[in-house]
Amino acid sequence: MSTKQNRRSFLAKSAMGTAALAAAPIVSTFGQGLIDAKERTPQASAPSDLRVTAVKFAYSGGGMFVKIETNQGLVGWGEAVDASVGTYYMAKNMSRRLINRSPLYPNVIARGIRQGSPFSGAQSGAFVATLTGIECALWDITGKALGLPIYQLMGGKFRDKCRVYCDTELYAARNPTPADYAKAARGAVDKGYTAIKFDLDLATDPNKYDRTNWTGSLAECERMVDAITAVRKEVGTHIDICCDMHGRYDAPTGRRVAKMMEPLNLMWLEEPIPADNIEVYKTITQETSTPICAGENLYLTYGFARPLAENALDIIMPDLQKCGGLGEGLRIASMADAYFTPFSPHMVGSFVGAMATAHVCAATPNFHILEWQTLSDTEQRWKDIVVYDKPFIEKGFLTVSDKPGIGVDINEEGLKKYAQRDVPFFA
């Protein structure tokens, strides 16, 4: 008799035995959850026999996609962004450490790879971003092998859906006017978003001193405030507005803009200065009532220790597609919770990355809001590259998948249309 039949028989008999002590309607449901969980678990062999047989990579745009194959036919998907570009051979070198190992230890494997490479850049940047994609795929396989969504592996979910803010990506326009900002804001709100984000840094702003000067002129700062004033007037007082300076200004400019924005009641001002100097962030944060947010360019839990301990940031925004992975994201969020600091992840990946991040957000009590790119609503490629049978976003919320693993798969044929041509595709 098969393992599957033995387990079902045992659970069924347990249900019948208990039924003798309870009312008849309970008989049909007792133990059914365990039976269903067992049925969802692949039976080619026990999960303990699961082994990695291949790790493959593909690159598209600013991201890296990971495919982990196993001896049971299970496939895990992961994604990394930004610093992962051009890391194919680094990724292949990491992948050798997974072959013939059980993938059911994402924390152990990721930490082992990092600790085993102290002289290879394992503290931040390209190394950590590349490892992030692998770690994410390990979580996906683990969930699929055990028949559980990732949030369940992380201790359960505090919420069924995650609020997102719409990054309007108005930066694609050349020197947009305040009216352009207001129009973009109205479009996002009409789609059901209750929070929106605008970029304040414009390389083409004629008021800039020059392209390399980090000091914003008075006219440049006024241009920023005028644009967001138009947005606030258009959407009213109950829509949240975020502004991003992309770390492209110096401390006096960041301080000035934060103060000038105070009457507009922003949800946050993001990266007014580069992420490098925590001491300077601390002075800006403590001198303004405008909440200051940063973190997309910080790596690992260690990267957030000082900003949190020294009250240098009001809100943290790690990018879970490059900061170290989903397990690392949960650790960062937990540390932030101890400082009563909101956790608002940065997210510029595909819907695989968005949903993977959403699992961590669901499992985190101090989750605040998640980033969403408006081009993901309008550009067909974002739908082409994934397998998902529901709308991505509904009324400004992302519903967390209850399917095993991430709950979103990569459509290889769809992704191939947009793949980087000078590197191997899932090889």
Q: Which of 296, 249, 243, 257 is nearest to 274 (CA)?
A: 249
Residue 355 has pLDDT above 50, yes or no: yes
In a domain, 412, yes or no: no
| 409 belongs to a structural domain | no
Query: Which segment of 2-6, 103-107, 349-353 scores lowest on mean pLDDT?
Result: 2-6
Beta-strand relationship, 52-60 and 63-70: antiparallel
* 66 and 100 together in one domain: yes
Q: Are residues 197 and 277 in the same domain?
A: yes
Point out the domain boundary residue: 115, 148, 181: 148
Residue 220 sits in the same domain as residue 362: yes
Q: Is residue 408 part of a domain?
A: no
CA distances from 70 to 131, 144, 149, 201, 378 (A): 19, 12, 19, 46, 35
Average pLDDT of the residues of the chain: 90
Q: How far apart are CA 320 and CA 145, in angstroms?
A: 22
Residue 26, pLDDT > 80, answer no
Same domain, 368 and 266: yes
Mark which of 106, 124, 148 sits at the end of a domain: 148
Mean pLDDT, range 53-70, rounded to an integer: 96
Show the tokens assigned to 265: 């009641």
Shared domain check, 88 and 22: no
Residues 131 and 159 in one domain: no
Say which residue the tokens 């006024």 belong to: 222
User: Residue 138's domain is classified under what CATH number?
Assistant: 3.30.390.10
**Whether residue 17 is found in the same domain as residue 104:** no
36: in domain: yes
Please state the pTM of the whole predicted model.
0.88
pLDDT range class, residue 233, cuts 50, 70, 90: very high
- Could you give the 3-state DSSP secondary structure of residue 58? strand
The total number of structural domains that make up the chain: 3
Same-domain check for residues 224 and 334: yes
Are 15 and 159 part of one and the same domain? Answer: no
pLDDT, residue 45, reads 62
Of 98, 131, 148, the position where a domain reaches its end is 148
pLDDT in tens, 395-408: 999 999 999 999 99
How many CA within 13 A on the CB side of residue 419?
A: 20
- Asked if residue 243 and residue 201 are part of one domain, the reply reads yes
Assess if residue 421 is contained within a domain: no
Instruction: Establish if 378 belongs to a structural domain.
Output: yes
**Nearest-angstrom CA–CA distance, 324 and 180:** 37
Residues 129 and 215 in one domain: no
Q: Which residues, 6 or more positions from 397, have their beta carbon under 8 angstroms from its beta carbon? A: 161, 162, 163, 164
Q: Specify the DSSP class assigned to residue 81.
A: E
Residue-wise pLDDT tens digits, 103-154 = 999 999 999 999 999 888 889 999 999 999 999 999 999 999 999 999 999 9
The set of residues, in sequence order, having a beta carbon less than 8 Å from that of 68 and lying 6+ positions away, is 52, 54, 55, 56, 75, 76, 77, 78, 98, 103, 134, 137, 138, 140, 141
Residue 236 lies inside a defined structural domain of this protein: yes
Nearest to 276 by CA among 309, 242, 244, 251: 251
Rounded distance between C-alpha atoms, residue 276 and residue 298, angstroms: 9
- Distance of alpha carbon 312 from alpha carbon 361, whole angstroms: 22
Domain span at 114: 49-148
Judge if 162 and 251 occupy the same domain: yes
413 part of a folded domain: no
Measured CA to CA in angstroms, residue 332 lies from 106, 169, 329, 358, 398 at distances of: 16, 27, 5, 15, 21
Q: What is the CATH number of the domain that holds 172?
A: 3.20.20.120
Dihedral angle, C-alpha 211, 213, 214, 218, nearest 10 °: -90
288 residue type, one letter: T
